[in-house]
Amino acid sequence: MAEAGRILDGKAVAARVRDEVAAEVGALRARGIVPGLATVLVGDDPASAVYVRNKGITCEKVGMASFSFTLPADTGQERLAALIDELNARPDVHGILVQLPLPRHLDANHIIARIAPEKDVDGLHPVSQGLLLAGRPGLRPCTPLGVMRLLDETGRDLTGLRAVVVGRSLLVGKPVGLLLLERNATVTWCHSRTRDLGGEVGRADVVIAAIGKARAIPGAWIKPGAVVIDVGINRTDCGLVGDVEFDVARERAAWITPVPGGVGPMTIAMLLANTAAAAARMRGES
Ligand code: NDP
């Protein structure tokens, strides 16, 4: 019987990324630069509050400054935009993160576009997206960066490999596909209208699942020896599960990420890496 696929342990890789960032922050501090991340939370959604708090704690652990702004749920567009303008102007703030989703009366696109692109550590500003499309240096979105870092852990050269990305959101699917293309993979994007999803996935050397539907990709679809990165986070009666049927897929894949403990822990780690990079770049040091 073939050996089961190796687990890509996101917790361990994220810890290594944090150590690397801590070293980078140490070097920046020695030159008088303390990278700073500002988080902006509007409203009192408990899950969002936990995410924002964790981001602040993790920042401080690697030696960065963290500035947290919590505004009431009924904050208006102009007030929020004014806070972004203030943060754009502050020299001690190198990264600005607006926790999404925003309350429905606020226009998230408008707010994100207000962030100075050089401080857009979430990589969601239209300028950051355009730079990614053009293949020019810029801040890339954190979850896609985490996916690429996990792929690096396999030691595989992606050149010429067939990569199938299931999902085409601006947050995950589209940018992951562009990052894979940058690394010379042959990329196919699939989505809810794809005709033969099983056939597409079955040809892939690398599968990225970013759908948001529990076990939507049966393990039997996975090509033997493929690398499977499962971005999905789905709450079920059996707890958190990914978009891929893990147990069966693991028997066929060479490498696979678990859920939880795969891509999830990478997102905050890459946010820290982006903030350190933004701080260095603002001082012309990258
Ligand atoms: P979206 O809902 O924005 O996008 C989902 C995508 O999946 C869409 O492109 C949709 O296609 C496609 N899709 C939906 N159903 C199917 C189907 N049956 N077959 C094929 N494609 C399908 O989600 P996100 O991209 O924001 O997130 C995806 C998942 O990743 C979620 O579970 C989310 O929780 C998780 N996530 C995890 C993160 C982490 O840190 N680990 C960070 C961000 C997200 P169409 O465009 O045609 O509608």
| pLDDT (tens place) for every residue of the chain, 286 residues total | 567 889 999 999 999 999 999 999 999 999 999 999 999 999 999 999 999 999 999 999 999 999 999 999 999 999 999 999 999 999 999 999 999 999 999 999 999 999 999 999 999 999 999 999 999 999 999 999 999 999 999 999 999 999 999 999 999 999 999 999 999 999 999 999 999 999 999 999 999 999 999 999 999 999 999 999 999 999 999 999 999 999 999 999 999 999 999 999 999 999 999 999 999 998 776 5
Q: Do domains 32-116 and 141-265 have the same CATH topology?
A: yes
Q: For the chain, what are the domain ranges? A: 32-116, 141-265
Q: What is the distance between the alpha carbons of residues 13 and 25, in angstroms, rounded to a whole number?
A: 18
Instruction: Give the H/E segment covering residue 182.
Output: helix 173-182
| CATH architecture label of 141-265 | 3-Layer(aba) Sandwich (3.40)
- Our mutation pick for probing the ligand 1 site, out of 192, 197, 270, counting the most ligand atoms within 8 A of Cβ, is 192
Residues with a CB atom less than 6 Å from ligand 1 = 143, 166-169, 171-173, 190-194, 197, 210-213, 216, 231-234, 263-264, 267
Q: Give strand pairing partners of 6.
A: 255
Which two structure tokens, joined as six digits, stand for 242? 């990914």
In this structure, what DSSP letter does residue 259 have?
Answer: S
Long-range own/partner contacts, residues 182-185 (CB < 8 A, 24 or more apart): 182/135, 183/148, 183/158, 183/159, 184/158, 184/159, 184/160, 185/158, 185/159, 185/160, 185/161
What does pTM read for this prediction?
Answer: 0.97
Nearest protein CA to atom 30 of ligand 1, as residue? 232
Q: Which 8-state DSSP code applies to residue 237?
A: T
Helices (H), 3-141: 10-30, 46-61, 77-89, 108-114, 126-134
Whole-number Å distance, alpha carbon 231 to ligand 1 midpoint, is: 8
What's phi and psi for 206, nearest 5 deg? Answer: -130, 125
Q: What whole-number distance in Å separates Cα of residue 83 and Cα of residue 106?
A: 14
Q: Which CATH architecture has domain 32-116?
A: 3-Layer(aba) Sandwich (3.40)
Q: How far is the CA of 92 from the centre of ligand 1 (A)?
A: 35
- Sheet order of strands, 95-98 included: 65-71, 36-42, 95-98
Q: Is the peptide bond before 91 cis (omega within 30 degrees of 0)?
A: no
Which residues are part of the catalytic machinery?
Answer: 55, 99, 122
